[in-house]
């Protein structure tokens, strides 16, 4: 199997290489593609140096393409990749809301990947981090309403966002004025309740992604969700505070026990020992941390909880590789569109 990464030199591209180093995915060839300014550079993989090529306008000679070069690139080029015989696992928002494109978190709705037509969409990082926890709770207790507040790291804006946080923090600490570039306002020592563009309803697109994508992955179009997304001066890993109104009452103890057995989830919940989810401990970790599980003071029988997850791993690169692994384990990585 010939595997390709488009957007190989970006933050997610580097994480894809790292995840593939440890992956069970079997492939005979790895191709790396990026923009013209990165062409000719090399990246190391399993002891070999692979030269980065310019992303072509047409077909790519690969069987599976992990795309992480942005929505405009995927929208323009993915149909040509599919026409050339490749399966595209796309990390952008280009196809997430298309009815005929599966939006997949393997631990929750992996079977949806088996019904693709050449493109499988990787969910938004914020959605992936919460849906691993919400899905098992929804199956057992039924979620009526979810109120989510996010604390999203600079890594959500890619390598440029992380560099801006580091550079501007240094500037501010040395008495210089930081001017925003990757974000709407300076990020050091600040919180910015603005991620992506504002929609007519007053919510940002990032907030609405959580609503749209959670419903699609869980398979409940009537799930009531409200989200407020906030950029915070954290380098890596997103966190989310979640309030749940449930159809059937749950105790914190029962919820902890359920989530201990949920794939991709680590229960980190012992306040007496100062043990709870944090970006510091979630960074570099494949599993999403959940803790601060307690009875809601707003909804009788409901729950309050806190999650942290690595935005570049489970929120992006890891999930994409896991989709490919899921298909390969089931003998479903055939060549060409429509053969799954």
Question: What is the spatial distance between Cα 80 and Cα 69, in angstroms, rounded to a whole number?
Answer: 15
Q: 86-116 pLDDT, tens per residue? A: 999 999 999 999 999 999 999 999 999 999 9
Whether residue 312 has pLDDT greater than 80 = yes
Task: Name the packing angle between helices 11-22 and 318-329 (round to 10°).
Answer: 40
Give the pLDDT band (50/70/90) at residue 334.
Answer: low
Q: 42-58 pLDDT, tens per residue? A: 999 999 999 999 999 99
Question: What is the spatial distance between Cα 216 and Cα 211, in angstroms, rounded to a whole number?
Answer: 9
Q: 110-133 pLDDT, tens per residue? A: 999 999 999 999 999 999 999 999
Backbone dihedral angles phi then psi of residue 165, each to the nearest 5 degrees: -60, -45
The percentage of the chain sitting over the pLDDT mark of 70, rounded to a whole number, equals 98
Residues carrying an active site annotation: 125, 238
pLDDT the model gives residue 336: 43
> Under DSSP, is residue 286 helix (H, G, I), strand (E, B) or coil?
coil
Buried b or exposed e, range 11-50, using 16+ CB within 10 angstroms: bbbbbbbbbbeebebebeebbbbbbeebeeeebebeeeeb
Let me know: does 248 contact 168? Beta carbons within 8 Å: no
Contacts 24+ apart (CB under 8 A), 264-269: 264/107, 264/132, 264/288, 264/314, 265/132, 265/133, 265/136, 265/290, 266/290, 267/291, 267/293, 269/293
pLDDT the model gives residue 158: 85
What domains appear along the chain, each with residue ranges and CATH number?
2-123+316-329 (3.40.50.720), 127-311 (3.30.360.10)
Let me know: does 73 contact 7? Beta carbons within 8 Å: yes
Whether residue 340 has pLDDT greater than 50 = no
The percentage of the chain sitting over the pLDDT mark of 90, rounded to a whole number, equals 96
Residue 25: both structure tokens together: 């995915």
Task: Give 158 or 294, the one with higher predicted confidence.
Answer: 294
Residue with tokens 């029988």: 301
Residue range 309-327: mean pLDDT, rounded: 97
Question: What is the spatial distance between Cα 175 and Cα 17, in angstroms, rounded to a whole number?
Answer: 38
> Under DSSP, is residue 34 helix (H, G, I), strand (E, B) or coil?
strand
Average pLDDT, the chain: 95
Residue range 182-209: mean pLDDT, rounded: 97
pLDDT the model gives residue 338: 38
Distances (CA, A) of 190 to 8, 161, 185, 233, 273: 31, 14, 9, 7, 29
Closest of 181, 204, 209, 180 to residue 194, by C-alpha: 204
DSSP codes joined into one string, 215-262:
HHHHT-TT-EEEEEEEE-S-SS-EEEEEEEEESS---HHHHHHHHHTS
Whether residue 236 has pLDDT greater than 50 = yes
pLDDT the model gives residue 339: 36
> Under DSSP, is residue 55 helix (H, G, I), strand (E, B) or coil?
coil
pLDDT the model gives residue 337: 42
């Amino acid at each position: 199997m010939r595997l390709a990464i488009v957007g190989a030199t970006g933050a997610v591209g580097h994480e894809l290489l790292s995840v593939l180093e440890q992956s069970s995915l079997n492939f005979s060839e790895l191709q790396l593609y990026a923009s013209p300014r990165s062409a000719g550079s090399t990246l190391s993989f399993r002891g070999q140096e692979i030269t980065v090529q310019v992303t072509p306008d047409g077909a790519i000679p690969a069987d599976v393409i992990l795309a992480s070069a942005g929505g405009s690139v995927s929208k323009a080029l993915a149909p040509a990749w599919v026409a050339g015989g490749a399966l595209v696992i796309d990390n952008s928002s280009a196809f997430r809301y298309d009815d005929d494109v599966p939006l997949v978190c393997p631990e929750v709705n992996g079977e949806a990947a088996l019904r693709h037509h050449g493109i499988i969409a990787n969910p938004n990082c914020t959605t992936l981090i919460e849906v691993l926890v919400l899905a098992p709770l929804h199956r057992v207790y039924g979620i009526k309403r979810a109120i989510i507040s996010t604390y999203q790291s600079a890594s959500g804006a890619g390598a440029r966002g992380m560099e801006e946080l580091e550079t501007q923090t240094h500037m501010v600490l040395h008495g210089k004025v930081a001017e925003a570039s990757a974000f709407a306002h300076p990020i050091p020592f600040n919180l910015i309740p603005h991620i992506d563009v504002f929609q007519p309803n007053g919510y940002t697109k990032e907030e609405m992604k959580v609503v749209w994508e959670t419903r699609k992955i869980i398979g409940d179009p009537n799930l009531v969700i409200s989200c407020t997304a906030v950029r915070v001066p954290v380098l890596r890993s997103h966190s989310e505070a979640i309030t749940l109104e449930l159809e059937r009452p749950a105790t914190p103890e029962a919820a902890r026990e359920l989530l201990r057995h949920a794939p991709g989830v680590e229960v980190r919940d012992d306040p007496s020992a100062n043990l709870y989810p944090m970006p510091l401990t979630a960074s570099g970790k494949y599993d999403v941390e959940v803790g601060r599980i307690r009875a809601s003071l707003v909804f009788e029988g409901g729950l309050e909880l806190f999650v942290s997850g690595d935005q570049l791993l489970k929120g992006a690169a890891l999930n994409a590789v896991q989709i490919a692994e899921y298909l390969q384990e089931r003998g479903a990585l055939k060549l060409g569109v429509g053969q799954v």
